[in-house]
């Protein structure tokens, strides 16, 4: 079995082997005195494993890459992690275990488990970043130790709704644009709708109808029959790649004449592999660039993958997001050490809050955190699926301000 430092790639078919390896990654082995301990939970076998695997590989890969370059100011980073299978109670159990073992930082995953852990994270003063981009988790007053290292689901949805309104008018549409919002049956799925999306749609004159996508469904014909009857000309997915691919195949087979839009967890290379031609023309709201996008901020990732004999074109942009999420927390640790501070959760949090316009080399918008706002990014680019790759449609689009952020 390989340790968490060496990293490994798990395929969906090989997840049982992954679980066996992960059982040895709980952190009980002896550590060097100057080692920096970071903990993580990943979904490698649960309902979001289709994107969770690449994200996990990237977090582990960044640590491997970093340590090969001397760590952080000469101090190695040790990552302890487990697969939690998208189970909230398991996430809570692992959080307790890893914090007791001395983890300074915690990398989470899902919306439900991150929200369940929010108060404990604050009490324990553990800087925390989740793959969940639930807007409320970036509220530094409510969640002072949680940081969003990508555009929140709500801001993604608001950017897309504004684009839909403009596209509808540009194409001669009359009245309000009609939108079907197809979402995962979970807090993750509802987050962009419940946290600002519904109100914003009403404000700009876009009619949105939510449609739940039941977990494990292998056919969405019934949902698309209703969507077809509704007259919707835009369909927005808030889900991961596998269910979105099934839905696209269903929609194309039924002849649904609509523009399809994926928010970030289904706008990736895996959608192409699963949906094939049905993915053609899909618009992707993508906070972190696909690895096929030629921007400086992904060159280290490409180099790392190539050094391991892996094809970066086969990875989803979940890999970019996982890599840069870890990179941002490494930057926080580096700043705390450079200031001569002890490595405590409170000092790392304060160091992260000094990040102002962090250059991501085009992999994503510059990142800024402040003591009052832990939503590091407010924008993204829209891409279009064309001939097997994601082609940029726009420059960075910034989310409209709202709530307490509005002027």
3-state helix, strand, coil in the chain (%, to 5): 45, 20, 40
Cα 18 to Cα 9, 15, 165, 310, 312, distances in angstroms: 9, 5, 44, 18, 21
10 Å CB burial of residue 309 (0-12, 13-18, 19+) is: exposed
Cα 171 to Cα 168, 177, 241, 338, 370, distances in angstroms: 5, 11, 28, 54, 40
Of residues 103, 151, 107, 105, the one with CA closest to residue 130: 107
Say how far apart CA 21 and CA 2 lie, in whole Å.
7
Residue with token string 């829209």:
382
Say how far apart CA 330 and CA 64 lie, in whole Å.
13
Please name the helix (run of DSSP H) or strand (run of DSSP E) that holds residue 304, with its range, or none: helix 299-307
Say how far apart CA 221 and CA 335 lie, in whole Å.
52
Cα 240 to Cα 90, 157, 186, distances in angstroms: 21, 15, 12
pTM of the model: 0.88
Cα 198 to Cα 155, 205, 206, distances in angstroms: 12, 11, 9
Structure tokens at 115: 């929200």
Structure tokens at 56: 């996990």
Say how far apart CA 401 and CA 3 lie, in whole Å.
44
Partner residues linked to 397 by β-bridges: 380
Please name the helix (run of DSSP H) or strand (run of DSSP E) that holds residue 81, with its range, or none: strand 77-83
Say how far apart CA 50 and CA 18 lie, in whole Å.
14
Cα 238 to Cα 65, 210, 383, distances in angstroms: 32, 10, 16
Mean pLDDT, contiguous 10-residue spans, the chain (407 residues): 32 37 47 88 96 97 98 97 97 98 97 93 96 92 95 96 97 96 94 94 96 92 94 97 96 95 94 95 96 94 97 94 98 98 97 98 96 96 93 94 55
10 Å CB burial of residue 207 (0-12, 13-18, 19+) is: middle
Say how far apart CA 63 and CA 46 lie, in whole Å.
24
């Amino acid at each position: 079995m390989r340790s968490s430092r060496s990293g490994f790639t798990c395929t969906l078919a090989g997840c049982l082997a992954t679980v066996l390896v992960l059982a040895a990654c709980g952190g009980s082995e002896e550590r060097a005195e100057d080692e920096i301990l970071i903990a993580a939970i990943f979904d490698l076998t649960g309902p979001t494993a289709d994107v969770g695997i690449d994200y996990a590989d990237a977090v582990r890969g960044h640590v491997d890459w970093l340590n090969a370059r001397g760590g952080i100011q000469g101090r190695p980073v040790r990552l302890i992690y487990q697969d939690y299978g998208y189970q909230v109670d398991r996430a809570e159990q692992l959080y307790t275990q890893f914090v007791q073992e001395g983890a300074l930082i915690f990398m989470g995953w899902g919306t439900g488990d991150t929200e369940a852990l929010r108060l404990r994270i604050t009490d324990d003063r553990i800087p925390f970043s989740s793959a969940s981009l639930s807007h409320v988790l970036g509220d530094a007053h409510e969640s002072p130790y949680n940081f969003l290292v990508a555009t929140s689901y709500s801001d993604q949805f608001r950017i897309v709704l504004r684009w839909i309104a403009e596209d509808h008018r540009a194409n001669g549409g009359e009245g309000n644009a009609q939108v079907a919002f197809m979402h995962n049956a979970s807090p993750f799925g509802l987050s962009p709708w419940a946290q600002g999306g519904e109100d914003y749609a009403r404000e700009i004159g876009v009619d949105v109808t939510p449609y739940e996508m039941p977990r494990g469904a292998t056919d969405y014909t019934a949902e698309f029959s209703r969507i077809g009857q509704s007259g919707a000309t835009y369909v927005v997915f808030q889900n991961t790649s596998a269910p979105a691919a099934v839905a696209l195949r269903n929609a194309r087979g039924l002849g649904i004449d609509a523009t399809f839009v994926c928010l970030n967890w289904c706008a990736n290379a895996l959608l192409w592999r699963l949906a094939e031609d049905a993915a053609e023309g899909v618009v992707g709201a993508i906070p972190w660039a696909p690895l096929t996008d030629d921007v400086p901020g992904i060159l280290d990732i490409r180099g790392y993958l190539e050094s391991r004999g892996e094809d970066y074109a086969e990875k989803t942009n979940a890999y970019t997001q996982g890599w840069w999420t870890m990179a941002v927390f490494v930057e926080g640790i580096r700043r705390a050490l450079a200031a001569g501070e002890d490595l405590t959760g409170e000092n790392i949090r304060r160091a992260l809050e000094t990040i102002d316009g962090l250059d991501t080399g085009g992999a994503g918008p510059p990142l800024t955190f402040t003591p009052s706002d832990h939503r590091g990014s407010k924008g993204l680019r829209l891409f279009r699926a064309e001939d097997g790759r994601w082609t940029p449609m726009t420059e960075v689009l910034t989310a409209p301000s709202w709530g307490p952020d509005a002027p």
